[in-house]
Every structure is written in structure tokens, then in C-alpha cells.
Structure 1
């Protein structure tokens, strides 16, 4: 499996840090996990606009993006209330998948809890 395919299979914040062999404070990642992944996903989307055909350079960009986002949060950045509440104003189509706006593959997982089956976890493909 290529390194890029391995990256695409990652799901948890800690997995991204481990993949790039980066040190991180577990408490910071635990407390600010959602915001770190959200900002990381936004940076990756911006990177996709500059389509890179070299997987090595693309992974270098992804690593830099993760370091950049993490350092912001590690140094005390906290999202504004507007940033936090906007996610509730614009929920994803399935209600549980934070990366999709057109998810149609929703099924009940347990006791009325629904989950997106096309994106079972956060992914930045």
C-alpha cells in the first residue's frame, strides 16, 4: 500500500500525528480534537486547489498543515463562539459526518443513533 493510501485510511487525530511521526500533547489533542481536525481538513481542501501530482510533496504539505494547525492550538488558539456555533447552523446532510454536505448513505447504528456509511469516520480524501 502506498503512503498516500495509508494516509487516506487514517481516521483519528492521533493517527495523523503517528503517521507523520510527530510528537504531540495528548491532552491538547483530546480537548481540541474536533477543532484541530476541522481546521486541518480546511487546510487540506485548500491544498487540493493546488493539485499536486507528486504524492511525496502532497504528503509533505499534509504534514506541514497538521503541524501548523496543531501549533496554533498548542499556543492557545481557541475558536471564536461564531466558529463553534456555525457548525450547528450548517450541519452536514447526514447529521454525523462532518466532512460531507451531500451524504445520502445514512443508517441507524444503535438505539436511534445514525451514522454515515459512506464516510464512517473523518477523512480528508
Structure 2
């Protein structure tokens, strides 16, 4: 496992699994990528403001959070339609990119999927 600074630079789902040296089913990650990262991001966000006694303990929490989320999906968890559609009612993490036309830093990241690249922080 690397450092917190290295963790904060990760943007690809597979790279999170590799960072924590976790095995994963590539097909499952391909199909459930968005949902896995959304749930993982919620757990990462919950950790903010808590004192874990250092970066190593915080990274252990993040590792456990990713394992938990992944295992839920591996065991058949499927988000409800309300969970999926709720994301469209919320502004993007950037705060300036609620639509791809209002941000000059939106780029195609994969197969027609666009994302704001102006942020240095993790976005889920």
C-alpha cells in the first residue's frame, strides 16, 4: 500500500484495487464501476473530519471500505432505480460543471463518457 498522497491521485477504479493490492473480477468492475465508486466515495466522504490517528489508519479504513463495497456487489447487491436516478438531481462535484457545456475542462474519459478534469481531488 502506498501513501495518502498517492491515494489522492488515483482516478481509475482498477487503480484503487491495485493500490490496496486487492483481487477483483474485471467483468464485475466493468459492469458496476459507477456504482462501486459511488458507494466507495460515500464512505471516503464519511471519513473526512474523523481522527484515525494517522494516514496509515485512514488508508486501512479506505481499504476496508472498498472491500466492503466490492463484496456487496459481488454478492448481488443492486442499487434501486431511485439511487441511480438521484445522481441526476445533484450538481456535479466540481460545482461549476453541472452540464458538460458549462465547464471548459470537460474531456471524454471513455467511450463517450465525459468528466471534469479541472479538479485535482478524487471525484466519484
**Do both share a fold (TM > 0.5)?**
yes
* TM-aligned CA deviation for residue 114 of structure 1: 6.8
Q: What residue ranges of structure 1 are gaps of 5+ in the alignment?
A: 93-99
Paired position in structure 1 for 2:89: 89
Q: Distance in 1 between matches of 2:41 and 2:82?
A: 18
Measure how far apart 1:90 and its partner are.
1.9
TM-aligned CA deviation for residue 101 of structure 1: 5.3
1:119 alignment partner in structure 2: 119
Residue 11 (1) aligns with residue 8 (2) = no
1:13-32 to 2 correspondence within 5 Å? 13-32=13-32
TM-score calculated relative to the size of structure 1:
0.79
Give the alignment's TM-score, normalised by structure 2.
0.79
Residue 106 in structure 1 maps to residue 116 in structure 2: no
Cα distance, 1:91 vs structure 2: 3.7
* Shift, 1:45, TM fit: 0.7
Between the two proteins, the alignment pairs up a number of residues equal to 113
CA RMSD of aligned residues (A): 2.5
* 4+ runs deviating over 4 angstroms: none
- SS for the counterpart of 1:38 is helix
Q: List gaps (5 residues or longer) in structure 2.
A: none
Q: 1:109 to 1:23 in 2, by over 3 A?
A: closer
SS state at 2:60 partner: helix
Residue 44 of structure 1: SS of its match in structure 2? Answer: helix
